[in-house]
Amino acid sequence: MESIISRLPADFWTVRYDGSRFPGAAAVAASPGLGPGANCQLYAYEVLRHFGLTPPELRSSDLWEDTGSTVRVPVARPLDLLLYNATDRAYGAHVAVCAGDGALLHLCAEVGRPAVWRPEDFAARARYRVLLGAKRILPPRSG
């Protein structure tokens, strides 16, 4: 199977980290898309949309608690979301996309641009040392 990472268009690799551009923010409503920058959630959701998924526009803690559009899974597979934080609280958790083969795609302030890390790269940083778990986007309900 071709890698998720290799299938992302070039413009997904030039996104600038901007913590003020998160799901539901006025800045995003005024200027949608990744061009003006994004936080980790907004970036992860756009990656999933590129691959045909429809993630909910939720902040970390709401995403972690959500059961209508997502489900917690014990083992992440490609295009699942992983939540990391300094503690076991979901509020303010960092969101990464599982890209397969231990690769995790994310956008963080530390790097400033999209990066591919491994789980041990997250564990080595105090702000990401706790893996809360993985969430999978559910298919849209038909109805």
Please report, rounded to a whole number, the percentage of residues in the chain having pLDDT higher than 70.
97
Q: Model pTM?
A: 0.94
- Rounded to an integer, what distance in angstroms lies between the CA atom of residue 136 and that of residue 139? 10
pLDDT tens profile 70-104? 999 999 999 999 999 999 999 999 999 999 999 99
Going along the chain from its start, the domains and CATH numbers come out as 13-137 (3.90.1720.10)
Contact, 43 vs 101, CB < 8 A? no
